[in-house]
Amino acid sequence: MSYAPKPEAIPPGLINLYSDTQTKPTPGMREAIARAEVGDEQRGEDPTINTLCARVADLLGKEAAMFLPSGTMCNEIALLVHCRPGDEVIGASDCHILVAEGGAPAALASVLVTPLRSVRGLFTPADVEAAIRPPSRYAPRTRLLAAEQTANMGGGTVWPVAQLNEVADTAKRHGLATHLDGARLMNAVVASGVPAAEHAKGFDTAWIDFTKGLGAPVGAVLAGSLALIGEAWRWKQRLGGAFRQGGICAAGCLYALDHHVERLAEDHAHARLLVAGLAQLPGIAVETPETNLVFFDVSGTGMTAEAFCVALEAEGVRMGAMGRTRVRACTHLDVTERDMRTALGAVERVLAAVRRAA
Ligand SMILES: *Cc1c(COP(=O)(O)O)cnc(C)c1O
């Protein structure tokens, strides 16, 4: 996975399936942002942020919530609040906390993250049970269970809500705290028809991201008990995550809650369309999509994921290499059904060129 900034501008007309973070705010969202009432958030005086936090706390069934610049900061502040240095966090081996936050669990919270073997990002109560160390002066204290809904590297998979609550309950029975990374929780809500609070029920802290499928430019909201969010505020302040007139950003998030949740179903339909087309192409092995993330393996073409993505970009479509031969395409607000057909045409041209060269 490479997040290196590309110096060149994005070519005009590029169909950008690199991530669902690639959306630009819509005219309606920009209008809401322009109209936002604002104040000093650090002093609790930004009315738009206060409204957003109350709405997300309610949505997730928690007492309180806090606005933060990013989902990464939600995860890291949760680790800081739940754990002490030397504690152990358990989570799926390819979870975002472990693979995509720059080593922050070690650098900031001084915790170990022990990877759990998972199937498409999901693990079982037995896996949790087996990973929890008995209290001992030799062993690190297993302190926190972290789960992702949807599981990003798992394939955008949706935990069945019963299994999600069972792993959380297992952790709780052993005295662990629980944290839900809900970067794409609303995709799971739309795909499953189960309300967000049901997904978050077994978790002490949970958050949603507004810059993924929800299409806002900035912001994520972390929710939990009043006590935990109070403690989280100390870390927000310490890390420089407090806003001033951040209602400018929160207005985009409120707009997304009102206008961009139900439409996630369109992204899921586009993902299915893309997969149906890819499944017909020689050398490509697709994973069944559950939400807006499409993963496929290109080893059958003889190409690496990186080479495939470079060739595909030359054909006007950007996807991401997520491993040696695994490619990810994300559908989102800024791509259409027609873009899916165009993208499939581009993939066909890449494959035809490889066959000609062989
Ligand atoms: C994107 C993502 C994050 C981090 O969110 P940012 O807003 O990009 O910091 C955390 N967890 C998962 C599963 C993600 O996909």
Q: What is the model's pLDDT at position 11?
A: 79
Mean pLDDT in consecutive groups of 10 residues from the start of the chain, 358 residues:
61 93 97 98 97 98 98 98 98 97 98 97 98 96 98 98 98 98 98 98 98 98 98 97 97 98 98 98 97 98 97 97 97 98 98 93
Question: Which residue, of 202, 232, 259, is where some domain finishes?
Answer: 259
Name the token pair of 290.
């559950």
Q: Is residue 218 part of a domain?
A: yes
Dump pLDDT digits (tens) for 197-243.
999 999 999 999 999 999 999 999 999 999 999 999 999 999 999 99
CA distance 206 to 199: 9
Q: Decide which of 235, 259, 283 is a domain's last residue.
A: 259
In a domain, 21, yes or no: no
Q: Sheet holding 326-330: strands in order across?
A: 285-286, 293-297, 326-330, 320-321
Nearest alpha-carbon partner for 274 in 321, 326, 333, 342: 342
CA of 91 to the centre of ligand 1 (A): 15
As a whole number of angstroms, the distance between CA 260 and CA 85 comes to: 39
Q: Is 295 helix (H, G, I), strand (E, B) or coil?
A: strand
Looking at the CA of residue 72, tell me the nearest atom of ligand 1.
Answer: 9
Domain boundary among 219, 235, 259: 259
Question: Within this chain, do residues 202 and 339 fall inside the same structural domain, yes or no?
Answer: no
Residue 186 alpha carbon to ligand 1 centre in Å: 13
In terms of residue numbers, what domain contains 291? 263-357
Q: Residue 10's pLDDT is what?
A: 76
Note whether residue 238 is domain-resident. yes
Question: Ligand 1, atom 1: nearest CA belongs to which residue?
Answer: 183
CATH number for the domain spanning 49: value is: 3.40.640.10
> Does some domain include residue 116?
yes
Looking at the fold, whether 71 and 220 belong to one and the same domain comes out as yes
Ligand 1 center to 105 CA (angstroms):
14
Do 158 and 207 lie in one domain? The reply is yes
Q: For atom 14 of ligand 1, which residue has the closest CA? A: 183
Within-domain flag for 3:
no
Query: Do residues 188 and 162 both lie within one domain?
Result: yes
Nearest ligand 1 atom to the CA of 73 is 9
Q: Are residues 330 and 317 in the same domain?
A: yes
Ligand 1 center from residue 269 Cα (angstroms)? 22
Q: Is 268 part of any domain?
A: yes
> Considering its fold, how many domains does the chain have in total?
2
* Cα of 135 from ligand 1 centre, angstroms: 32
Please identify, by atom number, the ligand 1 atom nearest to the C-alpha of residue 95: 13
Mutation probe of ligand 1 site: the residue of 20, 72, 75 with most atoms within 8 A of C-beta: 72
Q: Which residues contact 307 (CB under 8 A, 6 or more apart)?
A: none
Q: What is the CATH number of the domain that holds 270?
A: 3.90.1150.10
pLDDT of residue 12: 82
Same domain, 255 and 268: no
Centre of ligand 1 to C-alpha 18, Å, is 14
Domain assignment present for 301: yes
Q: Is 251 in the same domain as 303?
A: no
Minimum-distance ligand 1 atom for the alpha carbon of 211: 7
Ligand 1 contacts (CB < 6 A) are 70-72, 75, 96, 148, 152, 181, 183, 209, 211-212, 220
Q: What CA–CA distances, in Å, run from 104 to 7, 37, 87, 257? A: 26, 34, 14, 29
pTM confidence score: 0.96
Question: How far does residue 222's CA lie from ligand 1's centre (Å)?
Answer: 12
- 183 and 294: one domain? no
pLDDT of residue 2: 56
Does 209 share its domain with 252?
Answer: yes
In a domain, 2, yes or no: no
